[in-house]
Amino acid sequence: MLPRIVVAGNGQLGQMLQQAGAPIQLEVMPVDPNADVQLELRADDVITVEIEHWSDSVSGLQLKQHPNFRNKVALHMVIDRQRQKSLLDRLQVPTSPWLSLEGDDLQAQLESVGERVIVKRRRGGYDGRGQWRWQKGNQPEAEWAGECIAEAMIPFSHEVSLVGARNAAGEKVFYPLTCNWHQDGILRASIAGLPIPAEQQRDAEAWLGRIMDDEGYIGVMAMECFVVDGKLLVNELAPRVHNSGHWTQEGASTSQFELHLRALAGLPLITPEVSGVSVMYNLLGRNWKPEWLSVQGAHVHWYGKEIRPGRKVGHVNICRPDVPTLAESLQALGAQLDEEDSVVAEWALAQLAS
Ligand code: ADP
Ligand code: MG
């Protein structure tokens, strides 16, 4: 008997986990962990997360206290940026220079990190929220003390991420590194399947593998990195399926959502194969447009959420066999997009050309 997978969080990640479970007869039940309702959990349910923070509500406590709540240790380490950075240091995984802001001499602490610094709230930030840019000469905010870490601003050439999965037996599989473009801290698009320097892939797999082993992690974890002079520096970890892995829904033989479920349910974990080139393009506060479906290789994933400015309401994966055909599709998609979005197609086309 396969367990039922209960997901703490009922946003798009939970929804896509549910979709991935259906064809393999895995029941996936996303729930709101902030609700004050008694959930009917079974003793053999397996609990996983799509979000990292929730309140001590009735449902929230029930989920946290369930004996099959997976990856408790990893979540504890990762949900606080100070603990997360300390973990990276302990495991000798290269990351940007940082310190925890404490006490009142913040100016000197910030200066010791660098001339340009990013201050990040230790808990609860996402999509670039809970972050401040600071540079020498600026006045620090007193409330950063005890609440934030300070990180050197990294002059990266681009950003990549690694998505991997580990099962209870310690077997691990990885996708190729994905190249990501963020704007104002929000992921606009990813591209996967272009040649990646072997050393970067090897380093990234070794580090994420070490982190997952250290935590006894089960399921999918993502690791965001900066590329500086061709070398990787880890930015942050996500103990869950990740936006930069959405292209795997159609761009890989097994998606990140299915791999996560397989690992949790004790089903075989196989190395995902990637043959073509894929672009994942986030739909931010957009209205649904049937014209997207006219683009060859485009797969639209619409989350059915209320549309608000900047909110992730869906994504389009464009998967094609090679660079020239993907470029054709991107041009066709570009023609269907308004100006604010056409920069995304331009970015992806520039990646293909480089
Ligand atoms: P979030 O949890 O919001 O994704 P991140 O730490 O990943 O937070 O920051 C969001 C984005 O901000 C990153 O993808 C990157 O583009 C930029 N950023 C974050 N930290 C740094 C840094 N130390 N140097 C330069 N850019 C950064
Ligand atoms: Mg991030």
Q: Is residue 76 part of a domain?
A: no
Return the residue matching tokens 């990762």. 78
Ligand 1 within 6 A of CB of 126: yes
Within this chain, do residues 112 and 34 fall inside the same structural domain, yes or no?
no
Q: How many domains does the chain have?
A: 3
- Does one domain contain both 175 and 281? yes
The answer to whether the annotation marks 83 as part of a ligand binding site is no
pLDDT of residue 124: 85
* Same domain assignment for residues 182 and 129: no
Domain assignment present for residue 178? The answer is yes
Which class for 179: exposed (0-12), middle (13-18), buried (19 or more C-beta within 10 A)? buried
Structural domain for 250, as ranges? 158-353
Residue at 304 is within a domain = yes
Same domain? 43 vs 117: no
> Does any ligand 1 atom lie closer than 6 A to the CB of residue 224?
yes
Buried b (16+ CB within 10 A) or exposed e, 331-351: ebbbebbeeebeebbebbbeb
Q: Using a cut of 0.75, tell me whether the model's pTM lies above it.
A: yes
Give the CATH number for residue 133. 3.30.1490.20
- How many Å apart are CA 263 and CA 247, to the nearest integer? 19
Write down the pLDDT at residue 80: 96
For the CA of 153, the nearest ligand: 1
129 within some domain: yes
* pLDDT for the residue numbered 205: 98
**Which atom from ligand 1 is nearest to the alpha carbon of 182?**
16
CATH of the domain at 11: 3.40.50.20
Paired tokens of 5: 């997978």
- Give a yes or no: residue 130 inside a domain: yes
**Same domain, yes or no, for 169 and 142?**
no
300 and 181, same domain (yes or no): yes
Ligand 1 pocket test, candidate residues 133, 233, 235, 347, most atoms within 8 A of CB: 235
User: Is the shortest distance between the CB of 52 and ligand 1 below 6 Å?
Assistant: no
Ligand lying nearest the CA atom of residue 133: 1
CA–CA distance, 152 with 113 (Å, rounded to integer): 6
Cβ 99 under 6 angstroms from ligand 1: no
Instruction: Tell whether 202 is covered by a domain.
Output: yes
Q: Give the residue carrying structure tokens 């609440």.
A: 147
Is 131 known as a binding-site position?
yes
Same-domain pairing of 63 and 124: no
Residue 228 near ligand 1, beta carbon < 6 Å: no
Ordered per-residue pLDDT tens for the chain, 354 residues? 899 999 999 999 999 999 999 999 999 999 999 999 999 999 999 999 999 889 999 999 999 999 999 999 999 999 999 999 999 999 999 999 999 999 989 999 999 999 999 999 999 888 888 999 999 989 999 999 999 999 999 999 999 999 999 999 999 999 999 999 999 889 999 999 999 999 999 999 999 999 999 999 999 999 999 999 999 999 999 999 999 999 999 999 999 999 999 999 999 999 999 999 999 999 999 999 999 999 999 999 999 999 999 999 999 999 999 999 999 999 999 888 877 788 899 999 999 998
pLDDT of residue 59: 97
167 and 229 in a single domain? The answer is yes
Q: Would you say residue 88 lies in a domain? A: no
Q: Is 151 annotated as a binding residue?
A: yes
Contact 211, 174 (CB under 8 A): no
Any domain includes 174: yes
Q: Is 147 in the pocket of ligand 1 (CB under 6 A)?
A: no
Contact 140, 106 (CB under 8 A): yes
User: Do 25 and 103 have their domain in common?
Assistant: no
127 lines ligand 1 (CB under 6 A): yes
Question: Cα angle vertex 196, ends 194, 198, to 5°?
Answer: 150
* E strand spans, the chain: 5-8, 28-31, 46-49, 98-100, 116-121, 131-135, 148-152, 158-166, 172-174, 178-183, 186-192, 219-228, 231-238, 277-284, 298-302, 312-320
Question: Does one domain contain both 178 and 315?
Answer: yes
User: Which ligand 1 atom lies nearest to the CA of residue 129?
Assistant: 3
Residues 198 and 252 in one domain: yes
Indicate the residue among 134, 152, 170 that finishes a domain: 152
Residues 255 and 120 reside in one and the same domain: no
In this structure, what CATH number is given to the domain that contains residue 202?
3.30.470.20
